[in-house]
Structure 1
């Protein structure tokens, strides 16, 4: 039976952080390693998602081409995964020719069916200055839900609301900084609503055409819940094309200049990755994707549930011939020290940074894996902390696993010259070891990886307790030839062998080191199943007379005066977070009160009637440009609401870059008599605040205000 595993394709527009690792990649790695140890036919595919507006936005920001961006981050993320032991069978990329071919074939098949696509002409924002339609991420504006001024056309990253570009208040093109216009364009939509009944039955009952496909009771509740929420609201057609110059060309004679929407082509990346691996390994990709016996599992984060449980299955069903997933064990989100990961605020640590920071510390890669496994966000959001990292490392890896293995190898060399002794009686731990293998394995098969890790620690704890209570050193003092010494060490060595094996899905680098110490072959496919059979038959994993090496200190403790290397690394990370907090607090700190003597003198008193003569209004800057032959003046165009725009000349050129001003909310005096300045007509005056050093700042209306409202 083939086991086909996928992990969400990460965007190749930036480095990945620990939250990504804990969501879709580390859980899949544990599962894949275990299945291989059970001798299963396993193929785990992933790759870089290299299309979409996020790529072009990053390229624009860094001043390089989209190809440069995807090459840079594909390589960085792929190397980071490898350094942390993430054992993909194939890591593809959606810019590859085979992926373009696979995606276009998928589109053609659906298009030929005649009833899977809806073609619509709609109005979409267009940037006249750049001469192109704007994808959602090319548009910014004020969120209509929370008033955040930097919301994108598809989502507000402040409140998390899903948006459409036309909902934004004061939309601005991120390309030119100008207000876009609406222009008609034609797009293809996947008729998702057509598949609603099938999806509802498949999600709730696990059946397709009356045949049982999966067991809904084995799916996580939050996965089922999110799917049913969408189904109960009613599914809508989903656009699958975009007017962009970066992506996969839509293979249709009426779709010139259009590309496939990234959400449509990205999951097809699982298929193209499989095809590429099969081409390079002499296999048939249909044995995985079109074999009814295939166990297809999608590993994702909760933000991808709808795509993998509703949209992609509907696409596969519409195409025909493909298997559907048996499970989608989506994880919740991982936070960092009580807050969301944020590169802009310096909050968190990225994978490549961790690899570089911990590269000289023994087993640093596995230390991270273990800390994340013990705190995986399987059913609810979790929080990574350096205190937790330290505790899991010291208590689990150093005090339990490392301590047991070191003591066993030292005592074996002391009492039996480094060889497995022959016990006088039968093994006393055989049944316990069989149970441990079964317990750890069953948790992994049920995607309960935290429970599996707990069962692994319990086995290491049992080993320490067993050794301590048997106390062979005490027996040796009374009688060096006491046969119980051989029995104890024989049993402890069998425990060590099982720990070395079961460590592999969790901490593979350490597992390999321990197997080397025990002079066993490096873990191979089928070893778990073989060990299970040997133990069930009463046979040892390490036979009498087998020579072993010495473990030494596998995990130097973090809290240890003798070796503070890791403590220093962690302290540097804590210092980084402290600096980020200080910067945030400084930005939010109240301004110190200015002495009255430093303030400018007050102007003569006026009447209330004089003040009411001023017409103060809210507005937004649309355009800004320098005025020739003037180093002080800028020419601005402002939006006063109701379709009214005005020309404004303002003496702020020495204080602001005109490229930064489009989208700036302002308050203006609208009823001053117009006048020409440097040959340019000015029809309003922008209000500014000036401090004692001559620094200017805009007087801005509250976030979320529209244009043209009275200020009084």
Structure 2
């Protein structure tokens, strides 16, 4: 693994705030991994953002009766505020500004200028009533691969690409009774089949690093004819495509999976002090940065197949991702979280009610790594109280009885126990076996062990040493508790021979300001609720 890591969590659509499905998926995982990797001495930056070009911005704005641009701007502010509220410490944050559009057009423009893109007629559902071609959030139908119902673009069920013209029984999302017909229109495409050999060779190398479901989906995609990937769409909302033959079209927002990492890497590198002559420098093949992508399973095609094909088409100019960490859907009351439908628990709302360490711990416990998992506030309260708050507070009370005593001896046995503890957490945090769920389980097990353990004056040094070592290991998750305790994240490889116990902070189930038991950020950012009754 590279010692310099560019960790990226793809930008969510700016059609509402971040819900727990976003946070429990790529965002918390990317943040925890970044904190761990930095504690291990690696140079790491974390990039994310908000994407305002998908048609889902328009469909959500229409449902709410607001201007799409206003919705995108407000949603971007909400996303930033929520990331802060739950402790996601990003370095670079992309937004739909002129600089981002320039990166997109430069990336796509290079492909066009070198002849990698072709003009090709493709079928799109067409509304004779509105005179509009329908794609992505504008049209639903059956997936041509697995038959599941969903919007065009990418099938959320099987992960395969789902071209608008290939939907089974397509219908308009604005008016399901609107009669549609298929019409062909010329768009720019990237012929993925031309990059089959490069894709096969790349995924043969990276397959052992992939989670099983993603590996299976990629194998299925590579066993089928690869589609011509539309790089432009015949619609008005999005980044205008200034290329011959596609007047009035925009860049396909799904195709932004290629240039988006370039833009995010530039902002993240600048936050780390880099001075760039060109925005694509940090993503260049000779930059020395290794790329790690945390994303949802439904982003497998755009951020694996299409992204890698686009990078290959640039013929060695850009680095290929070293790692992909894909998660499954996180559900609410057995249904997928959905910003566009308002079926969600918003991160900012929960952070106003519960300390963010408890939120982060519970989302780690229920992390949807290999299968769909479900959120319940009642279950969260029960789990965080029984597995984290109560046992930690009992451990802190035991340690407090000896605060100020010492320095007390730390035995060789205790130092060895701390080292083994560090090894177990490392097995959870390192790629490719990274697992928030197992990290939270490891924390629970060691906390229960300390909770059961009686403490006397003779072994108080050992007890406090192991409690502090546990908190160091858990610091990438329990960010506020570790900070209040003055504990730096890291993995103990033994420890000191003596230690002076000090009071350890308690955990609370209530908050005063935005998820922080002892105060926190200004949470006055205006919010645009998309919740429905």
Counterpart of 1:379 (choices 338, 360, 370) is: 370
Counterpart of 2:19 (choices 8, 17, 20) is: 17
Count of residues in correspondence between the two structures: 503
Identify the range of structure 1 (278-287 vs 17-26) with the bigger mean alpha-carbon deviation: 278-287
Corresponding residue SS for 1:328: strand
Counterpart residue number, 1:434: 419
Contact 2:281 2:287 in 1 (8 A): no
Counterpart residue number, 2:477: 506
Residue 70 of structure 1 deviates from its aligned partner by 0.8
Counterpart residue number, 2:522: none
Counterpart residue number, 2:274: 282
1:246-645 aligned at under 5 Å gives the runs: 246-279=237-270, 281-284=273-276, 286-291=281-286, 293-319=288-314, 320-341=316-337, 348-356=344-352, 358=353, 361=354, 364-409=355-400, 411-413=401-403, 418-423=404-409, 426-445=411-430, 446-466=433-453, 468=454, 471-472=455-456, 485=457, 487-515=458-486, 523=488, 528=490, 531-532=492-493, 535=494, 539-540=496-497, 544=499, 546=500, 548-549=502-503, 551=505, 553-555=506-508
Contact 1:173 1:180 in 2 (8 A): no
Gaps of 5+ in 1: 207-213, 473-484, 558-579, 584-712
1:122-201 aligned at under 5 Å gives the runs: 122-127=122-127, 130-139=130-139, 152=151, 162=162, 164-165=164-165, 167=167, 169=169, 171-172=171-172, 174=174, 178-180=178-180, 183-201=183-201
2:97, 2:451 → 1: CA distance? 52
Contact 1:189 1:239 in 2 (8 A): yes
Please, what is the CA RMSD of the aligned residues? 3.3
The TM-score normalised by the length of structure 1 is 0.64
1:439, 1:44 → 2: CA distance? 25
Corresponding residue SS for 2:326: coil
Residue 117 of structure 1 deviates from its aligned partner by 1.6
Counterpart residue number, 1:565: none
Task: Render the CA deviation track for 1:659-707: whole Å, top value 9, x for unaligned.
Answer: xxxxxxxxxxxxxxxxxxxxxxxxxxxxxxxxxxxxxxxxxxxxxxxxx
Counterpart residue number, 1:77: 79
1:137, 1:337 → 2: CA distance? 24
Q: 1:378 to 1:180 in 2, by over 3 A?
A: closer
1:23-38 aligned at under 5 Å gives the runs: 23-38=25-40
1:313, 1:144 → 2: CA distance? 23
Task: Render the CA deviation track for 1:575-595: whole Å, top value 9, x for unaligned.
Answer: xxxxx9xx9xxxxxxxxxxxx
The TM-score normalised by the length of structure 2 is 0.84
Contact 1:333 1:382 in 2 (8 A): yes
Residue 63 of structure 1 deviates from its aligned partner by 3.2
Gaps of 5+ in 2: 511-531
Q: 1:145 to 1:86 in 2, by over 3 A?
A: closer
Residue 169 of structure 1 deviates from its aligned partner by 4.1
Corresponding residue SS for 1:447: coil
Task: Render the CA deviation track for 1:218-264: whole Å, top value 9, x for unaligned.
Answer: 32111111100111122111111012222222232333211110011
1:355, 1:219 → 2: CA distance? 32
Identify the range of structure 1 (74-83 vs 152-161) with the bigger mean alpha-carbon deviation: 152-161
Contact 1:371 1:388 in 2 (8 A): no
2:428, 2:172 → 1: CA distance? 51
Greater CA radius of gyration, 1 or 2?
A: 1
Q: 1:12 to 1:267 in 2, by over 3 A?
A: farther
1:348, 1:315 → 2: CA distance? 34
Residue 464 of structure 1 deviates from its aligned partner by 2.8
Counterpart residue number, 2:231: 240
